[in-house]
Each structure stands twice: as structure tokens, then as C-alpha cells.
């Protein structure tokens, strides 16, 4: 079945540094990928929609300059957390559809980011 691979699975970084998270669709092409953030014991919050070959669409309240999204190919989207701060510590999850909407989303295993 459709597999979405996310890397790294966890990362620890110091305040002020930047961290890049990769999301790959392994056996299908995805023109659109989605980035979510999950706080402890809370739901997934959609951060942005990543569009291949064009700018990402950010949800209200999400800083586009802080969370840089690049969807350079049909199988790869990256999320870069710039100038990370401890409050950016969270679980980040990407997802993609293997077919046109409304086909179900397939999720990566997530990335646990800890900013010290």
C-alpha cells in the first residue's frame, strides 16, 4: 500500500538553530502533502498544505517565515523549523494522498522535535 516516510523520527536541537524534516511518498507521487503539528494529548493541527512546484498554503496563525515548506518534487516535501525555540518542541506529522481527493490520507510516522 501507499507508504509515507518521514525523517528523522526524532531530533534534538539547540535554541536558535534550524531543523529540516523530510517527508517522502515511497511508492506514489503526491502533488499535495500536508504538515500537521500534534501537541501532547491534543489533536493534530493542520499547519500548511505543501504544493509541488508552488508555494505552500499556510493555515491561519502559522508563521510562514518560521516554518518553511519546500515541495521540490512529486515525492518529497520538507519542513524547516527556523530559529527554533523551546515552544516549537512538538510532534510534527506529514501526510499525502495516493490519489485525488477525497481518497484517504496516508501519514508518516512523525518527527519528535525537542528544542533545548
Q: What are the angstrom distances between the C-alpha of 5 and each of 42, 54, 75, 110?
A: 23, 22, 10, 9
Q: Cα–Cα distance between 110 and 116 in angstroms, integer?
A: 19
Span interacting with another protein, options 13-21, 61-69, 75-83, 96-104, rule CB under 8 A: 96-104
Q: Cα–Cα distance between 36 and 34 in angstroms, integer?
A: 7
Q: What x-and-dash track marks residues 18-37 binding another protein by CB under 8 A?
A: ----------------x---
Please pick, from the candidates 13, 44, 74, 98, the single residue that binds another protein as defined by CB under 8 A.
Answer: 44
Residue number, 39 or 85, with CB nearest to another protein: 39
Sign of CA dihedral 114, 49, 30, 67: negative
- Asked if residue 62 binds another protein (CB under 8 A), the reply is no
How many residues touch another protein (CB under 8 A)?
20
Q: Cα–Cα distance between 93 and 109 in angstroms, integer?
A: 7
Is the Cβ–Cβ distance between 110 and 93 less than 8 Å?
yes
Span interacting with another protein, options 13-21, 67-75, 81-89, 103-111, rule CB under 8 A: 103-111
Which residues are near another protein by CB under 8 A? 4, 6, 34, 41-44, 46, 49, 93, 95, 101-102, 104-110
Amino acid at each position: 500500500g501507499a507508504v509515507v516516510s518521514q525523517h528523522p523520527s526524532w531530533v534534538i536541537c539547540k535554541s536558535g538553530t534550524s531543523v529540516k524534516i523530510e517527508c517522502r511518498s515511497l511508492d506514489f507521487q503526491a502533488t499535495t502533502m500536508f504538515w500537521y503539528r500534534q501537541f501532547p494529548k491534543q489533536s493534530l493541527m493542520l499547519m500548511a498544505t505543501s504544493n509541488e512546484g508552488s508555494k505552500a498554503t499556510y493555515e491561519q496563525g502559522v508563521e510562514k517565515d518560521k516554518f518553511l515548506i519546500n515541495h521540490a518534487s512529486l515525492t518529497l516535501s520538507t519542513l524547516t523549523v527556523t530559529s527554533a525555540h523551546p515552544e516549537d518542541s512538538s510532534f510534527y506529522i506529514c501526510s499525502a494522498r495516493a490519489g485525488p481527493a477525497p481518497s484517504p490520507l496516508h501519514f508518516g510516522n512523525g518527527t519528535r522535535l525537542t528544542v533545548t
